[in-house]
């Protein structure tokens, strides 16, 4: 497990090639996501799928809020939409978001997971199924246990896992629950996670 990332280091093992990044966050997540995604330059080529727990209000303004702060295209995920490169998708409130085997997105209203819909586990597990090893999972601040199982699944299928250092997270329960289930490839502070995503994109695209 590496605990810092400041750029490519020839003494460290090479980063894998991934086709997509999935991100999960809960309490304190808006600021954490902004810190990371602000690092992503215009023309960033990897798709990013994000679940952020929010109160169950039917119309969310997440996509609009992030769009105004970021250089990459941002949208709320639609049912049956094909995943486009370089786009940041947010799961809609009240619906689980899944990746299908043909790399399209699907929504569902199955039971809540850890009181949450959308659930990080559901996104991560379905994405691991679809992308196999070519997936990076990032789990950030949060006050419940959602996402831990999904991270373990990504790792089990050979993907790359990144957990925010709980010591620096606004709410440490979510990253700690992930650490209890598996040892991630990276345990990082937010600025390093941003850099890592930039580097993963450079390798992949």
Partner 1 sequence: MSHERNADIELRLLIEAIYLKYSYDFRDYSGASVKRRVAHALRQFELKTISALQERVLHDPSAFMQLLQFLTIPVSEMFRDPSHFLAIRQEVVPLLKTYPSLKIWIAGCSTGEEVYSMAILLREEGLLERAIIYATDINPSSLEKAKQGIFSMDSIPGYNTNYLKAGGKRQFSDYYTAAYDYAIFDKTLRENVTFADHSLATDSVFSETQLISCRNVLIYFNKKLQDRAFGLFHDSLCHRGFLVLGSKETLDFSGYKDQFEPLVKQERIYRKS
Catalytic residues: 26, 53, 146
Between CA 75 and CA 88 the distance in angstroms is 6
CB of 126 to partner 1, least distance (A): 4
Stretch that binds partner 1, among 99-107, 139-147, 174-182, 185-193 (CB under 8 A): 99-107
CB of 87 to partner 1, least distance (A): 16
Three-class DSSP category at 153: helix
| Interaction between residue 110 and partner 1 (CB under 8 A) | yes
Between CA 103 and CA 58 the distance in angstroms is 25
Give the HSE-up count for residue 39: Cα atoms under 13 Å, Cβ half-sphere: 16
Which residues does 158 contact at the CB level (< 8 Å), separation at least 6? 132, 133
Stretch that binds partner 1, among 15-23, 120-128, 163-171, 173-181 (CB under 8 A): 120-128
Q: Name the residue with tokens 């959602």.
A: 146
Between CA 36 and CA 136 the distance in angstroms is 14
| Interaction between residue 87 and partner 1 (CB under 8 A) | no
E strand residue ranges, 43-196: 48-52, 74-76, 88-90, 96-99, 105-108, 135-139, 160-164, 186-188
| Interaction between residue 92 and partner 1 (CB under 8 A) | yes
Please pick, from the candidates 5, 89, 95, 131, the single residue that binds partner 1 as defined by CB under 8 A. Answer: 95
Burial letters 50-74, b for 16+ CB under 10 A, else e:
bbbbbeeeeebebbeebeeebebeb
CB of 123 to partner 1, least distance (A): 10
Residue 163: C-alpha distances to residues 25, 51, 152 (Å): 11, 15, 11
Interface with partner 1 in residues 55-84 (CB under 8 A): 58, 78-81
By beta-carbon proximity to partner 1, the closer residue of 27 and 113 is: 113
| Interaction between residue 109 and partner 1 (CB under 8 A) | yes
Please pick, from the candidates 16, 129, 166, 176, the single residue that binds partner 1 as defined by CB under 8 A. Answer: 129
CB of 79 to partner 1, least distance (A): 5
CB of 82 to partner 1, least distance (A): 9
| Interaction between residue 6 and partner 1 (CB under 8 A) | no
Q: Which residues bind partner 1 (CB under 8 A)?
A: 58, 78-81, 92, 94-95, 98-101, 104, 106-111, 122, 125-126, 129-130
């Amino acid at each position: 497990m590496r605990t810092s990332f400041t750029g490519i280091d020839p003494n460290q093992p090479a980063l894998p090639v991934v086709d997509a990044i999935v991100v999960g966050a809960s309490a304190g997540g808006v600021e954490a996501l902004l810190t990371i995604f602000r690092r992503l330059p215009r023309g960033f080529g990897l798709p990013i799928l994000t679940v952020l727990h929010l109160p169950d209000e039917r119309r969310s303004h997440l996509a609009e809020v992030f769009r105004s702060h970021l250089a990459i295209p941002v949208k709320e995920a639609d049912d049956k939409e094909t995943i486009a490169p370089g786009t940041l998708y947010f799961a809609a409130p009240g619906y689980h978001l899944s990746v299908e085997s043909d790399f399209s997105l699907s929504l569902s209203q199955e039971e809540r997971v850890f009181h949450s819909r959308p659930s990080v586990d559901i996104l991560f597990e379905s994405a691991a199924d679809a992308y196999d090893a070519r997936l990076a999972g990032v789990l950030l601040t949060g006050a419940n246990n959602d996402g831990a199982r999904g991270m373990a699944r990504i790792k089990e299928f050979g993907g790359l896992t990144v957990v925010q250092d709980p010591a620096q997270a606004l709410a440490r329960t979510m990253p700690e629950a992930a650490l209890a289930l598996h040892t991630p490839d990276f345990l990082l502070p937010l600025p390093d996670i941003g850099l890592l995503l930039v580097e993963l994109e450079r390798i992949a695209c």
